[in-house]
Structure formats: C-alpha cells, structure tokens
Homo-oligomer: A and B are copies of this chain.
Amino acid sequence: METIRSFGGRPDVHRPRHGYPVIHGVFDESPSLPTVTVYNHLDVQPASRDDGVWRTDPFVLRREGDRYFGRGTTDDKGPALSALFGVRTARESGVPVNLRVLWEFEEEVGSAGFEEVIRTAASKLRTGSILVSDTVWLTRTQPACPTSLRGFQGFRFVLQTGEEDRHSGDVGGPGRNPIAELMGLVCKIHDPDTGRVKIPGFYADVVRPSRRELEDFRRSGFSLRAYKKDFRLRSLRTNDPLEVMKRMWALPTFEVHGVAGGYAGPGLKSIVPGRAEVFASCRLVANQTPEKIRRLVTSFVKKHAPDVEVHAEGGAFPYRGVTTGPLADAVREAMRFGFGRKPVFVRDGGTIGAVVTMEKVLRCPVLFLGVSLPEHGYHAPNENFDWGQASRGMAAFARYFELVAGMGVRR
C-alpha cells in the first residue's frame, strides 16, 4: 500500500470472502486514454534456514554485488518492483496511458479467492490489456515470453469388484482384479511409452503451433541437457529438443498420478484387491475444453469398461495468448529496447487459472513480460534477482507502456 502511494498511485484493497486480498494500484485515470495493467504476486514460496542450503537468511534481503538474495526476490517481488519503476518512468515522461498494477497474495497456494475478486470488482479493474510478469527465460542470453498455457482436467477412475481385499489363493484366477483392470483401461486410453492418447477425437481441437512459433521454440535457448538436469529426469520419451518443447507446451497429455487400493507396503501381501482407484489428468491445449475432454474420456470408459466409475476433478481452460498484432509486437519491441534482443514467444506447459479468469472476466488480452532467469532459482534455495535484469526490465516496461499509449483507446 505504502509502496504504491510512494510511487504516486492509489491502492485499492479487494477482499474475497475466503482467501487473501488483491491490491489494485491505480495511477492516473482518464477515460480518453488506453489502460494497461501489470499483474504480479507478492506471496512467496516457503523457505527454511534449516535446509542448510540457504547461505543467508531467506527472509532478510541481502545484497551481494549486483545481486539481491532472499525468498521472493525473483518470484515475484523483483519483477513487481521493476514494473513499478517502469510505471514511474512512464509517468515522469508523461506517457499518455492509464497504468495499473494488480497484486495477488496467494498465487503460490492456489489463488482461492482471486476469481471472486476479479468477478466482484470487474468494473473497477477494467483495463485494455494485462501484462503478467511472473515467468522465467530459458537461458540468460535469449529473452523469452510465454504466450500460452495448458489447461487441465483431472479424473478419478474407480472400480470395485469385491467388498474387500481377498486372499489370492482363494480368488486368484476366477476373481476380477480391479487394479489390473484399471491398468488395462489406462493402456486403452493411452500408450504409456509414447504418451499418445488413443481416445478418438482427443486431438481434434488441438491448434498446432504456427510456423513462426515453432521457429521461436527453436531459438528459445531450450537445452535438453539443462531440462533433464533441472527436473532431475533420467530419460525422456524423445530426445529431439523441438519435439520435447512441442509435447511440453503445445500438446495435450494423459498422465497417471497414482493408484490407490490393494497393498503396496513393506513385504508382499498376496491379495486380490476389492477396489482400486486410479488418479489421472489431462493437460489441455487450445482449443480443447475441459467439458469436451470430460465427455470424451467418460464415454470412452463407459464403452470399454462399463463398471468403472469416472469422477471428473477440477477443470481449467487452456490459455492461448496473442502472438501477432500490435500488443504482441509491443512486447517484442519493449524487450528488444530493454534487453537488446527481441524475445522469442514460447509457451508454458502449466495451468494458471488466474490468467484465463482475467481474460474471460475482464474481456481483455493477457500478455507476458517476464524478466527472471533460470539461475535466479525460482522456488529454490538462494533465490536471487540481479540489477541487470531489474534495470533492463524497468526500461522494457516503460517502453511497453509508451507503445500501448501510442495505440490509443480501442473501442
């Protein structure tokens, strides 16, 4: 609040019934000017000195040379401050644009109250576009902005063939094994080796990345070796880097998360389980919808395994941002201005419901301008942010505001 005031803004606090408040910082207000809002979150991941891996107190900001150490420095307070300095620069230069910041305080724990705030305060939050600054480049030498996010649809498959676990000496053979049958179902749904989903129509609505996007993927600085190292993966389904990026960012998945039922403790308990449950989910890409995927999976299961219950869990739309047009070009030009090199437009394989909520409720495009580097250590010990990214980020934000100002009000 005080920070926003000290930068010349008016902070508005919006509280959901459950969850943490959202702070809206309003700088200027003129109906004749275009409006742009920068989204950041100020809550942080947990951290403990006891881990033994933090060299300094994670909750005391410590500067070493041009580097700032502490939990939240790069995720996402540093970028939030860079944006705020960009706001100040733009205002001091008299850039004709209404500037806003939108700060969330529960991004790391699921954004429970965020949608409610956006819906309730929609008229006050009205904006021409949103810039999310909460993403990481793939390499320090190549600025990168995600443009799209995957959606999500969870599933629980339940099969009960007996009232309880039975001794396999008694029922093994004639008795149905619900874990094994669910395994069979999972193998009918997808090929466990390639990940390819076998349900007819599953890929029908998938929008393939454009040639230009694929060109950007190639130039993104993605490294197979770094990817495997970062996520501590021993091997992958493919070793073609472009194929990895396509599968991670631009293709839907079917993933098994766990199996309940039977016995998997120490020793071996030779039972035929009475009941089993498989937890799975699909990541979705544009233009798939959670509803249609739910429908496809459910009717496929009903057909191939009629007595398996399907429970749909959660559900989030994929987000496909703009990669062409004036706003996308403004992001490209702003980053070139700030960092000396045009960014590549990549994607993100995760799901951020808040982005889709902002787009749908506030009816405006959401773009990304992230300034964090892999070596900053998102969610890791010794998280840091550096002055180079901060100062260049400020310039990029200021330039972006100037470019948006030049577009005038879209009616």
Contact = CB atoms under 8 A, between A and B. Distances in A.
Given A161-B235, A264-B279, A179 B243 contact: no
Contacts of A187: 183-184, 187
Given A170-B248, A243-B174, A248-B172, A263 B257 contact: yes
For chain A, which range describes its interface: under 10, 10 to 19, 20 to 34, or 35 or more residues? 35 or more
Interface stretch (A92-100, A200-208, A267-275): A267-275
Contacts of A172: 248, 253, 255, 283, 349
Copies in the complex: 2
A298 B236 CA distance: 24
A261 interface: yes
Contact of A192 (B152, B181, B270): B181
Interface string A147-190: 00010101010001111101111111111110111011011001
A351 B172 CA distance: 12
Given A248-B174, A257-B264, A273-B258, A283 B181 contact: no
Given A173-B195, A237-B174, A274-B232, A281 B268 contact: yes
A75 interface: no
With most chain B CB atoms within 10 A of its CB, the pick from A152, A238, A256 is A256
Interface of A: 150, 152, 154, 156, 160-164, 166-177, 179-181, 183-184, 186-187, 190-193, 195, 227, 231-238, 243-244, 247-248, 251, 253, 255-265, 267-274, 277, 279, 281, 283, 307, 313-314, 348-351
20 contacts: A161-B233, A163-B233, A166-B233, A167-B350, A168-B257, A169-B283, A169-B348, A172-B248, A173-B195, A176-B237, A177-B255, A180-B190, A180-B192, A180-B195, A184-B191, A187-B187, A257-B270, A258-B261, A259-B259, A268-B279
